[in-house]
Amino acid sequence: MQSYTDAPELVQQFLNYKISVQNRSKLTVMQYYHDLRTFFRFIVKTKYPAKFDGVNESEISFAEVSDKDITDVTSMDIYEFLSYAANDLDNKGDSRARKLSCLRSFYKYLTVTRNIIEDNPTQKIDSPKRNKKYPKFLSLDQSKQLLSAVDGKNKERDYAIITLFLNCGLRVSELAGINLSDIDSEMTTLYVTGKGSKQRILYLNDACRDALKSYLKVRPGNAKSKDADALFISRNHNRMSVKTVQYMIYQRLKQSDLGNLHMSVHKLRHTAATLMYKYGKTDVRVLKDILGHEEMSTTQIYTHVSDDQQKQAIDSNPLSHLKQNK
């Protein structure tokens, strides 16, 4: 993981606060670091044109940014940065919205948490319009096709992994981190450690229990001592890594003639969420807890209406068959 010790002290304190107090993941915090570095490089180059004339923004040291440069930022500076991000960096709406979200969090920290400045320069700035994206997912029939094609070496293990993905909506890092001790003795619940080490308990349905029981009968008993409690074991007798799980899923998708869909492991999480919402009529608040989302807005992308549902809704309109008299 890249260090952020070159950042100004106020930025370092903010990033440490995100990790130690708000329990954000290191990957999330590193994204904050990159977005803040891009912003303040733009600020100092704009503020000191003579000093940085002919210097590319990427060559400006983050350490060049002073506390005064940080606390003097105005709303106009942020508007100009968003314009620069759109025109010079070719950032789309989603990327600009993420950068603004980072700045909002940083200046909220300076105003509310630390009381270093009085006014938050991001407060009245509207977020750039995001491109509407629906998650890719397997249909119910495609999900069954993937499961039914699992055969050969490690079939019990791989079937159990795919079953957990499609029924519980796990992240790949969560699945790779499962221990035997995370499953209760009755095999009814699973203890999951998610982003930022946040923990949640998931219910195991019949399909999950059956798949896990079949796998545990053949699970290698010679796992290396450090991975003795790991649920899923690789051929090298280690805990299966995220990359190993990803590669296995890629291969299983190819074997089931679904490789042309260009699905990733994360799309199986999308599939689980979509199937639960579409067929289980799952309340979006329950879905949020199952998936381990912090914000409801993240979960709401799974509540998209399928083409079939949309057609059915429009066709159900009592005026749908009315034709003009000729």
Q: Given the residues 47, 209, 266, 304, select the one marked as catalytic.
A: 266
Cα separation, 193 vs 242, whole angstroms = 14
What's the sign of the alpha-carbon dihedral 49, 50, 55, 59?
Answer: negative
Q: Given the residues 4, 32, 159, 302, select the one marked as catalytic.
A: 302
Closest CA to 132 of 5, 300, 309: 300
Cα separation, 109 vs 113, whole angstroms = 5
Residue 266 among the catalytic residues? yes
Q: Given the residues 104, 108, 195, 209, select the one marked as catalytic.
A: 195
Q: Given the residues 45, 96, 171, 278, select the one marked as catalytic.
A: 171
Residues 6 or more apart from 54 whose CB is under 8 A from it? none
Cα separation, 187 vs 210, whole angstroms = 10
Cα separation, 276 vs 310, whole angstroms = 18
Residue 171 among the catalytic residues? yes
Are the beta carbons of 75 and 61 closer than 8 angstroms?
A: no
Q: Given the residues 37, 269, 270, 278, select the one marked as catalytic.
A: 269
Cα separation, 156 vs 160, whole angstroms = 6
Q: Given the residues 37, 45, 239, 293, select the one marked as catalytic.
A: 293
What single DSSP character describes residue 60?
S
Residue 293 among the catalytic residues? yes
DSSP string across 188-214: -EEEEE-GGG-EEEEE--HHHHHHHHH
Are the beta carbons of 165 and 147 closer than 8 angstroms?
A: no
Closest CA to 240 of 257, 220, 259, 256: 220
Residues annotated catalytic, as ranges? 171, 195, 266, 269, 293, 302
